[in-house]
Amino acid sequence: MRPMFDSRKGIGALPLILVLILVVVLAGSFVLYRNWQGGAGSKKETRETATTPPPGGAAPKIAPPFSLPDISGNVYSSDRFAGKPTVINFFATWCPPCREEIPGFVEVYNRHREKGFELIGISLDKDTRENLPGFIMQNRIEYRILFGDLATTRAYGGVSSIPTTFFVGKDGQIKNVHVGYIDQDTFDREVRKIL
């Protein structure tokens, strides 16, 4: 009987098979990682219209109420924003498109806040919650940032892709929903529609 590994011939069949399996596993892991990184909110979504419904289902017509804590533990109710043009942005600090759009959000918020415009960021960070205070300071965010929960994402039609941004009129009606990265000019245009 001949052994599987013959040292006289170099690499035998068994080690070669193990190397091939390792290569396939690494390639599969890389593909899964790339899809995970780019799937939920990749830049390719920038071409979507601002009226795209969230992937988990149809967006409600009236903005659902919520009560959520901020980074200091203070609970804010959506009642505080009633009658005001409001944007609600679901995001996370680990999400590259979310991070990219926030400087534009800060600029647009600062431009329109004196007109009664409200912007609420709802963070879906779980394992990275401790990063949020530094993230807020680094990005000079002056609008309200709250910690989201499953009930709120479900109420908003099952937010399963971030960033997802809801544009709410003074009447409480959701006027537009934008899934994915939104550039500053488009964001400003959509905000002007609800002012």
What are the domain boundaries of the chain?
A: 7-39, 43-194
pLDDT for res 45:
36
Q: Name residues whose C-beta falls within 8 Å of residue 173's C-beta, 6 or more positions apart in sequence.
A: 61, 62, 63
pLDDT band at 128 (very low <50, low <70, confident <90, very high): confident
pLDDT band at 57 (very low <50, low <70, confident <90, very high): low
Residue 76's DSSP bridge partners are 68
Q: Give me the mean pLDDT over the 147-173 stretch.
A: 95
Which range, of 8-22, 47-61, 140-154, averages the lowest pLDDT? 47-61
**Residues 51/131, Cβ–Cβ less than 8 Å:** no
Give dist(CA 25, CA 19) in Å, integer.
10
Give dist(CA 89, CA 191) in Å, integer.
12
The model's pTM is: 0.71
Q: Give me the mean pLDDT over the 27-39 stretch.
A: 47
Helix axes 96-112, 184-194, angle to 10 degrees: 50
pLDDT digits (tens, 9 = 90+) for 181-191: 999 999 999 99
Residue 49 pLDDT more than 50? no
The fold adopted by the segment(s) 43-194 is: Glutaredoxin (3.40.30)
Amino acid 138 reads Q
